[in-house]
Amino acid sequence: MAEFICRLGTPSGEIVTKVVEAAAAADARIRLEADGFRVFAISSAEEGLSSVLSLGGSKKAKVKAGDFLLFNQQFSALLRAGIPVLQAIGLLKTRSGSENLRNVLVDVEDKIKNGIPLSTAFESQGIFPRIYTASILAGEKSGALDDVLERFVVYLKRSVGISRKLRGALAYPAFLLLAATLMVAFLTFYIVPRMSDLFKGLSANRALPSITLAVLWFSNTIVSNIWWLAPLVIIVTITMVLWLRTPGGKLMLHKFLLRIPVAGKLIRNMATSSLTRSLSTLLSGGITVPESWDIASQSINNLELRRRSQNVLPMIREGRGFTEALDQANWVPELALDMIGIGEKSGSLREMLDEVATFYDAEAEVRLEQLTTLLEPAILLLMAGVVVIILLAIYLPIIQTISSGPFGGRKQ
């Protein structure tokens, strides 16, 4: 008996990977289909997971958030107008301005023609968030796909808006930091070395100031060792980037970010907003609280906060209250817990989750403004301080020489 790695669609609409023992791939397919599974791909265990996860095609490029939002707005509008799903997909695939999205929609259309549900067709692409495919599945089951998509569009608009605000707010501090780095590099590698000959002549008659000696030593050390320092910096940078991509490196970075006073609050507020908005969207589609949490918790980008939230789902499945389980994560703000608790007791959990998301969107904007307000003057002060030090190192010996010249010490 050989082992085969199978990519399957369950009767409930989920996509799973399963290892099956069978004499041949055809036998494994027949047995799985008899058990009610839809078989997407089968590969021998020796070939590994890559051939299965590709679902018979090459890995697709990601779709930009803006293109994804526009597609869902148009898709929702077409469905509300009474156009069938297959026809709507066919119209949108020709009108989309994104080549990546067009390729995805062509594959989705082919799968729908072969009898595969819309949610499974999107899930099989491997590039869409689970909340999206789960929302579509809920819409298919309830027969209100257009309403579910409309709610998802609202969710996506808010998420994209927050992301754009974050990038826009951090763009200017990043530009200042880059400008400061380039200015310091220019002074260190170009100006100071060219002044060193002048300083040698001045030091013959009078000792140079300590600040000048320190700047000269730093500049000469960097310039004379640049051929091995530059590769070392590149290697260390690449190593750090690769390490930060590992689960352990990401977790340590995310823990550190949470300890930064203003940034840590901002991360918690944004995570609370994203989590509650995802939960509200899923609950609106008729998905149960445990399933909604299982999907929505994936929207928590900070790995440390996600790690703290691991025990929430088991507690919900044990029958504990949602607010009580959420409190055990030990990171959700107390006000959010109070609001969610009121919604849970009054039977209006979904509506209260919407209110929490709206409130913490506003809080995140305030924290973001505070962060940029602190970053900009801090970078400017740092840049000014470094430039002043270098300028003092250059001009102090010249001023001392002039003041001690033939006329500098003469009394009238």
Per-residue pLDDT reduced to its tens digit, 196-226 = 767 766 655 567 788 888 888 888 888 888 8
For residue 222, what is the DSSP state?
Answer: H
The reply to whether 214 and 354 lie within a common domain is yes
Q: Is 143 left (phi over 0), alpha (psi -120 to 50) or beta?
A: left
pLDDT digits (tens, 9 = 90+) for 19-38: 777 777 777 788 888 887 87
Q: pTM for the full model?
A: 0.67
What's the token pair of residue 238? 């690449």
Whether 324 and 296 map to the same domain: the answer is yes
Mean pLDDT of the chain: 81
| Domain-embedded: residue 362 | yes
The amino acid occupying position 217 is W
Give the domain-ending residue among 128, 158, 188: 158
> How many other CB atoms sit within 10 Å of the CB of residue 94?
9
59 found inside a domain? no
Q: Note whether 131 and 278 are within 8 A (CB).
A: yes
19/148 Cα distance (integer angstroms): 34
49 vs 61: CA distance, rounded Å: 19
For residue 363, give both structure tokens: 């809080």
What does the alpha-carbon distance between residue 7 and residue 42 come to, in Å, rounded to a whole number? 6
Give the CATH number of the domain where residue 43 resides: 3.10.20
Boundary-marking domain end, from 133, 158, 183: 158
- State whether 36 and 148 are in the same domain: no
Instruction: Please state the domain count of the chain.
Output: 3
Whether 58 is in a domain gets the answer no
Average pLDDT, integer, range 176-195: 81
Is a pLDDT exceeding 60 seen at residue 292? Answer: yes
Q: Are both 344 and 250 inside the same structural domain?
A: yes
Domain that holds residue 112: 65-158
Place of tokens 């594959």: 107
Give the pLDDT mean for 110-131: 84
Confidence of residue 234 (pLDDT cuts 50, 70, 90): very high
CA distances, 308 to each of 97, 117, 327, 332 (Å): 41, 35, 10, 10
- Same-domain pairing of 362 and 324: yes
Report the CATH number that the domain containing residue 69 is assigned in CATH: 1.20.81.30
Asked if 153 and 356 count as a contact pair (C-beta separation under 8 A), the reply is no
Q: Order the strands of the 15-22 sheet from edge to edge.
A: 15-22, 2-9, 38-44
Domain termination site, one of 53, 77, 92? 53
- In angstroms, the Cα distances linking 408 to 164, 205, 353, 400, 405 are 60, 15, 76, 9, 5
Is 181 inside a domain boundary?
Answer: yes
Domain shared by 265 and 183, yes or no: yes
Give the CA diameter of the chain. Answer: 112
Q: Render pLDDT for 61-97 as a digit per residue (tens, 0 to 9).
A: 678 888 888 888 888 888 888 888 888 888 888 887 7
Q: Which residues contact 287 (CB under 8 A, 6 or more apart)?
A: 134, 138, 295
Paired residues of 39 in beta bridges: 8
Q: What CA–CA distance (Å, rounded) separates 20 from 29?
A: 10
Angle (nearest 5°) at CA 282 between 279 and 285: 150
Q: What is the mean pLDDT of residues 42-57?
A: 44
Separate counts of helices (H) and strands (E) for the chain: 19, 3
Helix, strand, or coil (residue 72): helix
What CA–CA distance (Å, rounded) separates 126 from 124?
5
Q: How far is CA 253 from CA 174, 250, 256, 332, 342, in A?
A: 19, 5, 5, 20, 35
Rounded Cα distance, 13 and 294, in Å: 15
**Is the distance from CB of 27 to CB of 39 less than 8 angstroms?**
no
- Considering the domain architecture, whether residues 20 and 41 belong to the same structural domain is answered as yes
In a domain, 193, yes or no: yes
Could you tell me if 172 and 151 lie in one domain? no
Distance between first and last Cα of the chain: 109
Which candidate, 130, 68, 76, 52, places its Cα nearest to that of 105? 68
The pLDDT value recorded for residue 60 is 59
Tell me what the mean pLDDT of segment 307-321 comes to.
87
**Mean pLDDT, residues 317-335 taken together:** 88
Residue 220 lies in a domain: yes
Are 153 and 185 members of one domain? no
- Pair 72, 208 in one domain: no
Which tokens sit at 34?
Answer: 């008899």
pLDDT band per the 50, 70, 90 thresholds, residue 245: confident
pLDDT at 256: 92
Mean pLDDT value of segment 170-184: 83
Same domain, 34 and 105: no
Q: Does any domain span residue 60?
A: no
Q: Examine the domain organization and report whether 271 and 226 are in the same domain.
A: yes
